[in-house]
Structure formats: structure tokens, C-alpha cells
Chain A
């Protein structure tokens, strides 16, 4: 054991300077999310506000090609009615099916369609913005940040799974008007504290009062950032609520089952384990040779 301790101490002391080098981009602040933890649920109003921000700001540049309009009315989502979802779909023009003459025309969107992608291809997007705005459907799961030891171990117990949304929120209000002294940005780039490398091609998308909220929520960059991030969490994990609900049922079942099995095991092993004296030890002379 002493040897094991020495090895451990040696490894830790050697690693310390290497660990210190890793803190370049600050870790995004952790927010309180309604969908965090074992009983987490989306805040319907927040998802609806998030969709509004997406539709009024982000969709010019970013698509949501995995999200069908019908899912806006799915349980565990933003809670629109079928009629509302149909109306939202109809506001979009999507590529239609070939008609009798073989011509393809745009038509209004239907429930089964997905949110259209703004650029016909990556090249068109890059020509316009120096970089390709990624599709946002699963972006909340496709981003994260190094938690570092020992925090990542704690995350197993605290169920912290919100690295992605916390990063998105930080990114959206992490813009600085000018880069710190000594840093020059490539043309067409902006300084963002939380973006890896700091030079991001996305112009600051949010400003105060940019999107009108009708439910009294503050119309600030901070609030917009949180709402759109929560919405993007939903697009990435549309079944999060069902998952956590089923999880709790499975959990209770398994704990009861394990408890019952434990007591059954105790009963079955009672004779063998608790009363070893009932076994007759034999004198060593009687042992069979191995």
C-alpha cells in the first residue's frame, strides 16, 4: 500500500503543472435550468420564447433540419397545440414535390416538414459569413467544455449534464466590443470570451429589446441567451422529460427489487453464512490429498 501511495503522489505532482496550462478559455458560468436533475422538466413558456428568438434571429443563418414542426405539439415540448404548430409550419416555404409536369415548386410547410436550412450548401454559407453556421438541432449536445478533475467525478452524482446549454448561454453574451490589447482578429471575426480561440465569425446576434416578449420576461441579452439555449436543449433532447420520468419508475422498481433480492439472499445463505459452526470441521488427517 505504501508503494501505491508513493506512485500516486508522484503522478499527481508531475501532473500539476500540466493541468495548470489548460485554463485558457474561461469555464462558462453554471445556470439554474428547470430541466436539470432527476425531476427536471422544460419550462413551456421558456421554450416558446426560445423558439421566438430562433425564428426572429437565428434562423437567418442556422437551420434545424432534424426538428419537425409536428414535434412542437409533442408532449414534453414547448406545448403548442396542433393548430398552432400547423400555423407555424405554414409560415415557412419548403421545397415541394414534383407536380404532373415534373416541376418542383416551393409550398407552405406542413406538420411533417422540418425547419428549413437557410443556405443551399456550405459553400454559400461560407461565402457569406466566412464560416459555416452549424445546424442547431443537436448543438446543445455537440458542445461542452472540460470539467477537469475532480469536478467530472462529482458530475456523476450531481447529474450535471448541462455543459452544452451553459456554454451556449455564455457564448451568446460572451461578446466583447473590442479584443483585449495585443490581440488582433482576422477580418470578419468578432471577439468572444467563451469561443475556443476567441475569434468567431458569427456577428453578435442578440441585443437588448431585439425580440418582443409578450409574457413579461425581461427583454435582455441575458434572458434571450437563456431562452434560446433552453429551446436548443429541447431540440437536442426532445424526450428528456419522458426519459427522466421513466428513469424514476425504473429506479424505484430496481431499488425495491434489489432490496427483496438482498433479503432473499440473506435467508437463503443464512445456514451457510451465519452458522459456519454447524459445519463439522474434520481433523487434518482426514483431508483428501489435493
Chain B
């Protein structure tokens, strides 16, 4: 980790530049010689995929914005005109609408990866929290974007979600009126959502920079959860990580293209092709799939205020994960019990997603409640207790050793991390 070659500017211009703004050196040290653990698997490529998707959303979004009209009487038709009359407008819009889904898909995989391998633990707490902030910003940005085409779902999603704030005692109603800029979702609401939908992605870019900065200070975690200890444990970012990331990015783009070109409306609700109509409430108001788990938690709780609080808590609780998990061992590879609870957690999250799309009646509510309890118990009970009682498996001495003997330690075992129960 020390002693990797430093940047040697090759051209006279870059030498000139380097004495004034050492951007070449920064790029060189961050994306060329930057040491990455040699045993990273493909789950580690999703960070790069996320950066790519953010770029896709911004580029397609900026061009869409050149043709879009944020006015309640024209918004729906302007999106349709983009699809019909703008050159490759159908491509831009389908890339952007499907891209949001792909963005969330990659984000969720990225987060589950972090949870499985304990990437949020010391010294990566800030890195993780920045990730939670990114998720929150994405959720808000995606929601506001969904309102822009001003279809039935746009309108009613905006109404339902903004109305959640009315659950706050005393100030709830004034807050909702303030958010709407009127007494109902209307033109002022659409205008401000558009403004914020344009702004927030650039805030996301800023937080992504911090996220990567924090990553480069702490270094990447890896499937063993054992920090690299010597040169042998790492490989240079370029070419090793770059080529691996590029390959999976290309595979991810194949999936993306499948949706964009062949089933572009698979992820869009048919109701959103009906222009917004405040007088007609759709039978089922369903948010985009990527909000469904949170929506299920909201509806699992009979009291509106507590439902809203649970919704907020379900996201915010992630920020406290580094301190709720008391185990000193990072990777689930060496935590046989945690691994089980983790997979149940994944199933519960997917299950909540499925329930979020179902009408809140009968057994659906019951299952949603059971799953909600598990969701919170996972963080508040299981993780704190597990760290104290779980017998972890012996850790390999180092990353290269785990590669050599498929994870079985050779010779003496590494000393267990302070406080770990073995």
C-alpha cells in the first residue's frame, strides 16, 4: 500500500500542469495505481456501475429537460411529444425511465454486498453513512422525477406521498400546504418538483465524490473482511479493477438494453399513460417497484403517524448499522449464524417489495406485519445480540492466504480481532 509508483508526467504540458493543478497525479493515484484487494469478487463492481448509471441519468435527463414542459396542461403531452417527434426521443425517455430502475437495482445489490461482507464496520462508517445519504437522495429524486410526466400515477403518488407529512401533529397540515404550494397538488407542485429533480442529481454527484474520497482513505473491504497486509494482498486498480468493472458493466448494459429496447413499459405502470385527473382516483395507487418495500412497511402499521415514522426509520436505521452490529468479524463468510439471518433479511426485503404491490387487505397485511417486525428486529435485536454470542470461524491470516488455500488458514491462525468470540 505504500511505495506504489508516483505519477511521472509524460508530456511537457502535463509537467507544466502538475506544478499548478496536480489533477493528473490525483487521477493516477486514485484510479491507476490505487491498490485494490486482489480477491474482490463481482459484487464489488456495482459501485462502478452506479457511477455509470448516474452519468446516464444526468445525460439523458439534461436532454429530456430541453424538450419537457413543466406545466400541468402540457407536461403529459410534452413527454409524449418527446417519444414521437424528438429524434430518438423514445430512446432518451426509455433510457431515463428504465435507467432509474436499473440505478436502484444496482444500489440495492451494492448495499446488500456491504451488509454481507461487513463493509460498514470500522474504519468505513462514514463511507457507509454517505451511502445511506445517497440512497435517500436517490429516493427523493426518483420520486420527483416520477411526478414529471403528470400521468395518473404521477399525480396520485405525489398526492399520497406528500400527504404523509400531514400525519405530523400540529404542523402537519401547514407543511403539506407548503410542500404543494397550494391546497392541492397542482402546477406549483409540478414546478418545484421539476426544479428539485434537476438540482438533486448534482447534489448526488457531490456526495458521490465524498463517498469515493472516504473509500480511498479507508481502502476497499474484501470478501474475507481481513484488511490487506502486504503488497501481495493487493493489485493495482488499473488494469485489474478497471477491466473487471468494465466486463460486468457491459453485462449490466445487456440487461439494461433488454428492458429499454424490448420491454420498456414492463416497469412503468399503465395508469401513468392516462393523463393526471384529480377527479378520478386509480383503484390501486402503487409506487415504483424500488419503493415497494418501504411502502409495505408504511402500510403494515395501522396508525398513520406511526406508519410514517416506521417508513422513515426503515431508511434511517441503516445509518446506525455500524454500531448496531457488535461483531468484530466483518465478513459473513466467517459468521455462520449471521449468514443465515442475512439471507432471511434479503428474503424479507424482497417479500416486503412484493407485499407493497398488493392491496393492503387480509393476509397480505398480516405477512407485511411479520416481515416489518423482522426488518426492524434484524437491526435492533439480532445484530446486537449476534455479535456477542456467535462463534465465528477462524479468519485467514491474510488475503493471499485465503486465495491460496481457498480460505483455509495455513500454519498458525491469525490472532482473533480484539473482542471477537472464537
Smallest CB separation, A90 vs chain B (Å): 22
Instruction: Note all chain A residues with C-beta closer than 8 A to B244.
Output: 265, 269
CB neighbours of B398 from chain A (8 A): 287
Contact A66 B84, beta carbon cutoff 8 Å: yes
A41 CB, nearest partner CB in chain B, Å: 14
Q: In the complex, are the beta carbons of A1 and B343 less than 8 A apart?
A: yes
B261 adjacent to A156 (CB under 8 Å): no
Interface assignment of A45: CB less than 8 Å from any CB of chain B = no
> What residues of A have a CB within 8 angstroms of the CB of B232 in the complex?
279-280
| B340 in contact with A247 (CB, 8 Å) | no
Q: Do residues B366 and A14 form an inter-chain contact, with CB atoms below 8 A? A: yes
A residues near B397, Cβ cutoff 8 Å: 284, 287
Determine which of B251, B364, B371, B404 lies in contact with A277 in the assembled complex, contact meaning CB atoms within 8 Å.
B404
Q: Give the residue of A21, A238, A255 whose beta carbon is less than 8 angstroms from that of B84.
A: A238
A21 closest partner in B (C-beta): B362
- CB neighbours (8 Å) of B261 from chain A are 243-244, 246-248, 250-251
**Stretch of B26-34, B139-147, B316-324, B407-415 on the interface side:** B407-415
- Chain A residues with CB under 8 Å of B404's CB are 276-277, 279, 281
Whether B340 contacts A4 by the Cβ 8 Å rule is yes
Q: Is A83 an interface position by the 8 A CB rule? A: no
Q: List, in ascending order, chain A residues with CB within 8 A of B358's CB.
A: 18
Residues in B neighbouring A17, C-beta threshold 8 A: 362-363
Give complex CA distance A142, B271 in Å: 6
Q: Mark B22-61, 1 if CB is under 8 A from A, else 0.
A: 0000000000000000100000000000000000000000
Structural contact, A15 and B363, CB atoms closer than 8 A: yes
- Which residues 17-36 in A have Cβ within 8 Å of B in the complex? 17-18, 21
Tell me if A137 counts as interface (CB < 8 A to partner B): yes
When distances are taken between beta carbons in the complex, the residues of chain B under 8 Å from A138 are 80, 273
For chain A residues 263-290, which have a beta carbon within 8 Å of chain B? Answer: 264-265, 268-269, 272, 276-277, 279-285, 287-288, 290
A290 touches B250 (CB 8 A): no
Contact residues on B (Cβ < 8 Å of other chain), bracket = 35 or more
The stretch of B174-182, B206-214, B235-243 that contacts the partner chain: B235-243
Q: How far is the CA of A38 from the CA of B265 in the complex (A)?
A: 15
CB contact between A7 and one of B273, B348, B363, B413 (< 8 Å): that residue: B348
Q: Kindly provide the distance from the CB of B162 to the nearest chain A CB, expressed in whole angstroms.
A: 24
Taking the closest CB of chain B, its distance from the CB of A282, in whole angstroms, is 8
Whether the Cβ atoms of A156 and B266 lie closer than 8 Å is yes
Closest to B409 in A: A284
Instruction: Tell whether, in the assembled complex, residue B253 and residue A254 are in contact, meaning their CB atoms are under 8 Å apart.
Output: yes
Which parts of B389-422 form the interface with A (CB within 8 Å)?
397-398, 400-401, 403-404, 410-414, 417
B91 CB to nearest A CB, Å? 7
> Which residue of B94, B354, B363 has the most chain A CB atoms within 10 A of its CB atom?
B363
Known: A3-B340, A15-B367, A18-B364. A155 touches B265 (CB 8 A): no
A256 to chain B, nearest CB (A): 9
Q: Could you tell me if A258 and B251 are in contact, using CB atoms closer than 8 angstroms?
A: yes
The answer to whether B263 has its CB under 8 Å from any CB of chain A is yes
Q: What's the nearest-Cβ distance from chain A to residue B44, in Å?
A: 14
Chain B positions within 8 Å of A, measured between CB atoms, are 38, 77, 80-81, 83-84, 90-91, 94, 226-227, 229-230, 232, 235, 239-240, 243-244, 246-247, 250-251, 253-254, 257-258, 260-266, 270-271, 273-274, 283, 340-341, 343-344, 347-348, 351, 354, 358, 361-364, 366-367, 371, 397-398, 400-401, 403-404, 410-414, 417
